[in-house]
Amino acid sequence: MVTTRYCDFKREDVYEFARASGIQNKQRGDELQFLYCPYCNGGKNRDKYSFAVNLNNGQFKCLRSSCSVSGNMLTLAADFSWFSLGKDVDAYYRTERRQRYRKFGKMKPIKPKSAALAYLESRKITAATAERYQITVQIERENVLVFPFLDEKGNMQFIKYRKTDFNPEKDSNKEWCEANCKPILFGMYQCNLENKTLIMTEGQLDSLSVAESGIENAVSVPNGKNGFTWVPYCWDWLQNFNTLIVFGDCERGSITLLGDMRRRFHGTVKAVRQQDYKGCKDANEILQKYGQDAVRNAVDQAEVLPMKQVEELADVKAVDLFSLPKIPTGIKSLDRVLSGGIYLGQTVILTGKRGEGKSTLGSQILANALNNGNTVFAYSGELPDYFFKRWIDFQIAGKHNVIDRAGENGTVNYYIPKEKTDRISTWYRGRAYLFDNQSIDDDEPEELLQIIEKAVQQYGIKLVLLDNLMTALDVGMSVDLYRAQSKFVDKLVKMAKRQQVAVILVVHPRKNSSGADDNDSVSGSADITNKVDVVMTYKRDKDLPDDRRLLTVSKNRLTGKLATGEKAITLFYDETSKRISDNTRDFTESYGWEEDTDGFISVDQIEQLEIPF
């Protein structure tokens, strides 16, 4: 059976094998199950779904006792010519079986010719180093340098040539190698395995320059920065070392070989610092211009590069959490629980039964944010734009600016004079934005997030209201819905943190939910409440009057302070202004648009207005 060796498993390889095989398959848990085994074809009885590949590690097995084949993705790549894991893997696992690399007979140590010594000395590499690495020139062409690649036992495996008088206008190739040779690292035979540090360069002259500077274990790759066919053949040998120093070519601000070797080498990987190249391209140029001390310094000062997404705890700046920027909700009892409001970068889930006012609470927080001078964005999947504007305008106007008149059948109609709605619109112009839900298409979920992020960047938005998750996804009730919810919320949370914007996401509760935990009652994927920072539930209580509501905070990641059970927040709802608050005096509180009193109209003028019903 083929072993995993150096190859990094990727889940995409399993799906590619399924596609290439053409065998019907289905995913079940962490496995991709195939209608029949590609080895035994299900046997005489055509047993179904006896062959499965694990999506986490690529291991496969046939459950039929007469077959029982097992292995991993490399096994499949070796056994089936129609499936490939890439040219590097193919070169090892396929070429090794189909043909044998060229074998060189036992050879005496090569003595460098004078032409080789002369050229190497011009590159500051002495005869002693040339003899140790057995560098010479071709017999018939003394302008062609010969680099013998000897394995750890001293056996010739690969030969590379370099033209010493290369002219790009006349010559097609500067370097080339013997055909059908096993690719290995140059300098393996000269390494001291007691020394656990290996230095890797791109070119042979560079590894010779490191050796010339008195540094052990300098090797170079056979086929340049992009050729890694040597890795499988040198993998076991590489395990002799626990530290790798990459001394590649410094090109356009990056060092060759580094990215690939950080991924492939299992020990510590260091890199020569860019400043230690001293403006040079490689080790040999440093040797020629600045001498051996500069090469040694470059190796000695090599650093472990910081891992992506890993940072030193000591480097993290200490901050006062309560001094971080936040958006007050305007509901004092809630702001006390949230330690001042919704912090920028936080995502809040607001849930509650249909028709009990969770959307109204969301727009109330949006209105309060506007009153505090913030710029806001809203997505309302269930309301047309004019209805959303009407609703939030009532909350901004306040009870004292709303006119109520009796309607038909004993109903009451509410109205804001046009002069005041115009002033309100002028007040929040340039600070309040709404997603045009008439422009919805099949790709809305992804497009919506892109539009939100672009709006945040372009307009300086600090608070986003998404009402609600179901309409934002627009997919059927299926397993796909839960995957889509989880993916959407994950991206939303990351966007909020990346752009430092506060987000309120309105979510319906589960149908017939009777659980004690409000977090578990949120509709859809169970993990979406795990992803967000705050979970709030707005609901009616049969023991309270019709104008009262309860607000619970069942998750508060920042401080852990909650408002559940007896500590739930009691809120008041005013039908006239649609305002929600923990203090009824707030129903007549004036917002910023009223600061200019020149626009007020008198009671007598109100009586003369024609009010439509």
Strands (E), 460-547: 463-467, 502-507, 534-539
Q: What is the mean pLDDT of residues 88-107?
A: 64
Residues 374-399: b if buried by 16+ CB within 10 A, e if exposed: bbbbbbbbebeeeebbebbbbbbbbb
At 222, list the tokens: 């056979």
Task: Give the contacts of 102 (CB within 8 A, at least 6 positions apart).
Answer: 178, 179, 180, 181, 182
Higher pLDDT, 160 or 67: 160
Q: Tokens 């059970």 — which residue? A: 565
% of the chain at pLDDT higher than 90 = 57
Instruction: Pick from 66-75, 503-512, 529-538 the range whose average pLDDT is largest.
Output: 529-538
Q: What is the mean pLDDT of residues 92-110?
A: 68
Looking at the DSSP bridge assignments, the partners of residue 61 are 52, 70
Q: What is the mean pLDDT of residues 121-138?
A: 96
Q: What angle do CA 80, 82, 83 make, to 5 degrees?
A: 75
- The whole-angstrom separation of Cα 210 and Cα 135 is 15
Residues 306-315: b if buried by 16+ CB within 10 A, e if exposed: eeeeeeeeee
Q: What is the mean pLDDT of residues 283-312?
A: 92
Q: Could you report the per-residue pLDDT of 214-229, keeping only the tens digit for each?
A: 999 999 999 888 778 8
C-beta pairs of 263-268 under 8 Å, 24+ apart in sequence: 263/8, 264/6, 264/8, 264/228, 264/231, 265/238, 266/239, 267/241, 267/242, 267/243, 268/242, 268/243, 268/244, 268/304
Handedness of CA 268, 273, 279, 283 (dihedral sign): negative
DSSP 603: H
Q: What is the mean pLDDT of residues 236-262?
A: 92
- pLDDT for residue 442 is more than 60: no
Torsion of CA 136, 139, 145, 148, to 10 degrees: -50
- The whole-angstrom separation of Cα 304 and Cα 283 is 19
Local structure of 538: helix, strand or coil: strand
- The whole-angstrom separation of Cα 269 and Cα 247 is 11
pLDDT of residue 526: 62
pLDDT of residue 525: 53
Q: Phi/psi class of residue 340: alpha, beta or left (left: φ > 0; alpha: ψ in -120 to 50)? A: left
HSE-up of 20 (CA within 13 Å, CB side)? 15
Task: Give the contacts of 90 (CB within 8 A, at least 6 positions apart).
Answer: 77, 84
Instruction: Pick from 21-30, 199-208, 376-385 the range whose average pLDDT is largest.
Output: 199-208
Confidence of residue 475 (pLDDT cuts 50, 70, 90): very low
Q: Are 294 and 300 in contact (CB under 8 A)?
A: no
- The whole-angstrom separation of Cα 436 and Cα 421 is 21
- pLDDT for residue 277 is more than 50: yes
- pLDDT for residue 105 is more than 60: yes
Return the amino acid letter for 228: F
Q: What is the mean pLDDT of residues 158-183?
A: 90
Q: What is the mean pLDDT of residues 153-174?
A: 91
Strands 548-556 and 534-539, bridge-based pairing: antiparallel
Q: Are 24 and 35 in contact (CB under 8 A)?
A: yes
- pLDDT for residue 257 is more than 90: yes
- pLDDT for residue 108 is more than 50: yes
What residues does each domain of the chain span? 11-86, 114-304, 343-591
Omega before residue 468 within 30° of 0, cis: yes
Q: Could you report the per-residue pLDDT of 315-374, keeping only the tens digit for each?
A: 888 888 888 999 999 999 999 999 999 999 999 999 999 889 999 999 999 999 999 999
Look at 295-309, 319-333, 345-359, 467-481 and tell me which has the smallest mean pLDDT.
467-481
Q: Could you report the per-residue pLDDT of 64-93, keeping only the tens digit for each?
A: 888 888 888 888 887 787 888 876 666 655
* Fold type of domain 114-304: Dna Topoisomerase Vi A Subunit; Chain: A, domain 2 (3.40.1360)
First to last CA, the chain: 82
The predicted model scores a pTM of: 0.58
* Fold type of domain 343-591: Rossmann fold (3.40.50)
Return the amino acid letter for 345: G
Task: Give the contacts of 609 (CB within 8 A, at least 6 positions apart).
Answer: 403, 417
Phi, psi of 590, rounded to the nearest 5 degrees? -85, 135
Look at 171-175, 193-197, 388-392, 585-589 and tell me which has the smallest mean pLDDT.
171-175
